[in-house]
Amino acid sequence: MKKRGILESFLLEFMALGSCVVVLWTAFYCLTMQIMKKNMIAQVQASSDAIISRVENELLEIGDAAYRLSHAEKVCAMLEAEDKLDFYDLAGNTENDIDTVIGQNILAGNILILRRDGGYYRFRGRISNTVIKKMHRTLIQDGVQNFTVSTNGMTYIVCSHEVCNKEDVQLGYVVFLMEKTNLESILGDFHNLKHLGLVLLSGNTILCANQEIDENMLAKQKDASIFYQEKTIGFTGFRLLVLCRSIVTKQVRQYFGIAVPVTIVLLFLVMAGFVSYWKKHFIHPLNSVLAHFACNMDMPLPLTGEEYFDGLVKQVNAMIFQIEEKEKELYESKMRVKDIELEKERTIFALLKKQINAHFTVNTLNVVRAFIYRGDREEAVRLCNELSCLLRYANGGDGDITLLEEIHVLEQYVGIMQTRYPGKFQFKVEMDEELLDTMIPRMILQPLVENAIVHGLCDRTGEICIRAEKNEKMVIQVIDNGRGMSKEEISAIQERIWNQEIGGSGEMKHIALMNIDRRIKMVYGEESGIWIDSEKEKGTKVLVMWNM
């Protein structure tokens, strides 16, 4: 991880955390508003029902009183009297029973009986004659029974009921007048519900309201309201409308308007402090450790000054020390194994040299002696020179030589073997001259040619050919057209070479092949080595390959 990547990731995570908190706060705000809206609507509904019930009860009480009074026998008798004196006399008798008929707690301050001819009798109140004439005209001519009438700055709400005789002939009206202020006082009892608009209507005319509401804008205000309820009050014809324009009160809006930004600011301040603390006590120490580790991987990590962090640093240093000790032990073990393998290779190589020095030298000297007995001094000298060259080569050390030198020594060996076995085999070399300067391990071809002579051509004559080519790999082939081997024999020899298995009872069978394969692998890698290709009675091809 990059040094700055830790801090960036840390900051990104905190920003994501802050964003989540803001989202949660917004969700909380929306949820709270929804709950408030639901609760407020329930409260508005309850308040609306209470207001409507209160106003409805008052108006219905007036309407019921008007109905009862219109059906009182004395009232009918008053209006049936043709003489006005009789009308007033009967009215006096009726007035004594008026409280019994209509009750004491009615809000109507003016009660009167109105004849069709304009005559009237006032049971309560001091309403002027002008108002009475207006009511008479509205009742008789317009046929409207519930309406408002104004005079001298005073507005009255009129609630009337017609009076009929037994033949259902209209005789006049019982009229109740309630001052508008009385009804407004009822609505004023709900002044604490400032979010509610209360409107009493007669037709499309506003009789009274607890707020300033324009009649022309009433329809639009109804559409803009989140809640409204409208109720026609009994048979009075009045309609009471309850409007709620806003769910959230001003105080609630102010609360959220302050709480949201303050919470966000506090959140970011807390986050900034938290980030600063972690940056000082965690990110910087960690970055210093990573920087030191990147530049000085072999050195112990420095202490950071943070107690809790230095405990981890000490543990890491102890672990690094243990790893270094293990690596040192492993390296020493590998070196010991390598030394053992090298010693093994030297031993095997020495055995090969002894094989040449002992058997080959004795056999060759016997041939030289035979030539001397026959008096063929030139052949004896030639053989001695070839043997001398071969022995110097065999005892010349372990270093690499050129392919040209290897071929030269091989020709000396072949010359000796052809002298020992006249007409036994032919020998040839096929390769480009540019390959002769290639450096190769010492003594890798002579054992292969010896095997071809001793094993491949043991019971016949034949030909041995050396070929070399170099592309991505260096490939040297030793080919004979001798008796060959079966697939089973090839597999057994190849497996023994690859597994470096010495024959039973310590015999050194195929030790030359194993030595060559092992030396090639040690120098050029495990992909290098010896491969054998053979077919029964057709010959054998041994390939020595290594990567260039």
SS3 labels along 232-250: ECCCCCEEEEEEECCCCCH
For 7-21, 439-453, 499-513, which range has the lowest pLDDT when averaged over its residues? 499-513
* Closest to 242 (Cα-Cα) out of 212, 209, 214, 207: 209
Q: What is the pLDDT of residues 188-210, one digit of tens each?
A: 766 666 667 777 777 777 777 77
Domain made up of 334-547: CATH architecture: 2-Layer Sandwich (3.30)
Q: Is pLDDT at 422 greater than 50 in this prediction?
A: yes
Average pLDDT score, the chain: 79
Cβ neighbours of 100 (radius 10 Å)? 10
Longest dimension (CA), the chain: 198
Q: What is the distance between the alpha carbons of residues 376 and 361, in angstroms, rounded to a whole number?
A: 19
Q: Where in the chain is the domain with CATH 3.30.450.20?
A: 36-244
Q: What angle do CA 104, 108, 109 make, to 5 degrees?
A: 90
CATH of domain 36-244: 3.30.450.20
Q: Where in the chain is the domain with CATH 3.30.565.10?
A: 334-547
- Say how many Å lie between the first and final Cα of the chain, rounded: 39
pTM: 0.42
Report the pLDDT value the prediction gives residue 272, as an integer from 0 to 100.
78
Q: What is the pLDDT of residues 446-499, one digit of tens each?
A: 889 999 998 999 889 999 999 999 988 999 999 999 999 999 999 999 888 887
Average pLDDT score over residue span 86-95: 82
Exposed (0-12), middle (13-18) or buried (19+): which is 96, by Cβ within 10 Å?
exposed
Cβ neighbours of 119 (radius 10 Å)? 17
